[in-house]
Every structure is written in C-alpha cells, then in structure tokens.
C-alpha cells in the first residue's frame, strides 16, 4: 500500500475505532483519544530526532498530525484490553480502585497492542528509526524483528500513560461535548 493510502487510513482509523467502540463495546472513547493525544504530543516532541516520518500532513517538523491522535487510539485500546485481562485473570467484574496490579495488565496490554502497531509502522515505511542516534544494540525480537529497546520503551511508557488516560478521559469527554 502506498504511503498516501496509509496516511489516509491513519486518519480514518481514528474514526473507525471510535465508531467500533461505540457500536460494539458501548463505550465512548473520545475522551480517551483526546487524553492519549496529550501523551502522544509529549512522546513525539521529546523523541522527534529519533524517528523519521514520511507523511505529508505534519504539525511539527516531520511529526504527522494523525500520529498524535493514533497514540490516543492506542491508549484507548490498551485500557480496554488491560481491563478485560485484569477482570479475567483476577475474576473481578471491574478494576478495583487503586489496585496496583492494574499496572501489570497495562504493561501487558500495552506491549500486546503497541509492538504490532510499531512493527506495522516500520515495515510499511511510515517511519524509520534513526539508528545512528539511538545506538540500539540489544538485538531483535524474533518474529517481529523489532529492537528489544522498542519493547522496553513501550513497557516503560505503559506503566504511566494508561493511568493518565484513565484519570483524564472523563474530563476530556465532557469537554468534547461542551
């Protein structure tokens, strides 16, 4: 698929995931997408020199606007999967407030969702790593052929980002209605 089609899809997938959650999960993830986009802005701005994007519509240097919102989509998916795993493994009907075990499920869900997303982005040429700056040398994950450092980076991010999104998603959902 050409980069133009991937760029178009990068915007459409935000709407498709939002609509699918509304229809099938009966969950409005608009607030989660917006809260997650804040994390996306932070991650992309801080790490901008380490990746090279290849989309046309950008907000700062080569950072695509759609990638900012894709972070929000990803965090919404992570939270959903994390909560499902938490409830299934711990035989609960919902997350117990302040239960620290949710962090483990956030990391697990984050890696399960983030690593395939990262792999697709790299393999399709949407972006590339700047290995000359990163100096990643731990080797590559079998099957995904992704650097182990990418896996560790996702795991570390998932310790804090889903908690932020969970906390703020309601506020951003209300703001989106005003």
What is the mean pLDDT of each successive set of 10 residues along the chain, which is 178 residues long? Answer: 93 97 96 97 97 97 97 98 98 95 98 96 96 97 95 96 96 78
Contact status, residue 105 vs residue 90, Cβ threshold 8 Å: no
Contact status, residue 72 vs residue 18, Cβ threshold 8 Å: no
Report yes or no on 89 lying in a domain: yes
> DSSP letter at 126?
S
Contact status, residue 176 vs residue 30, Cβ threshold 8 Å: yes
pTM for the whole structure: 0.94
Q: For the chain, where are the E strands, in sequence order?
A: 51-53, 58-60, 63-64, 127-129, 140-141, 146-147
- Cβ contacts of 96 within 8 Å, gap of 6 or more: none
| Full residue range of the structural domain in which residue 131 is found | 2-169
Report yes or no on 174 lying in a domain: no
CA distance 54 to 34: 23
φ, ψ of residue 138 in degrees (nearest 5)? -80, -15
Report yes or no on 114 lying in a domain: yes
Report yes or no on 176 lying in a domain: no
CA distance 114 to 130: 19
pLDDT in the model for residue 174: 84
Report yes or no on 81 lying in a domain: yes
pLDDT in the model for residue 175: 77
pLDDT in the model for residue 178: 63
Report yes or no on 104 lying in a domain: yes
Partner residues linked to 128 by β-bridges: 52
Per the structure, the count of domains in the chain is 1
């Amino acid at each position: 698929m050409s980069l133009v089609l991937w760029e178009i899809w990068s915007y459409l997938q935000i709407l498709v995931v939002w609509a699918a959650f509304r229809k099938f999960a009966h969950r409005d993830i608009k607030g989660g997408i917006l809260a997650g986009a804040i994390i996306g802005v932070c991650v992309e701005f801080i790490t901008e020199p380490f990746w090279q994007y290849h989309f046309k519509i950008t907000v700062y240097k080569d950072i695509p606007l759609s990638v900012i919102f894709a972070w929000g989509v990803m965090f919404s998916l992570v939270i959903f999967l994390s909560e499902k795993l938490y409830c299934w493994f711990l035989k609960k009907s919902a997350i117990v407030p302040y239960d620290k075990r949710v962090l483990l499920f956030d990391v697990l869900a984050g890696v399960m969702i983030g690593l395939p997303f990262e792999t697709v982005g790299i393999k399709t040429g949407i972006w590339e790593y700047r290995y000359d700056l990163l100096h990643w040398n731990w080797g590559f994950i079998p099957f995904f052929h992704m650097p182990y450092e990418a896996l560790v980076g996702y795991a570390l991010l998932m310790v804090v980002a889903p908690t932020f999104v969970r906390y703020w998603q309601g506020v951003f959902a209300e703001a989106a209605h005003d």
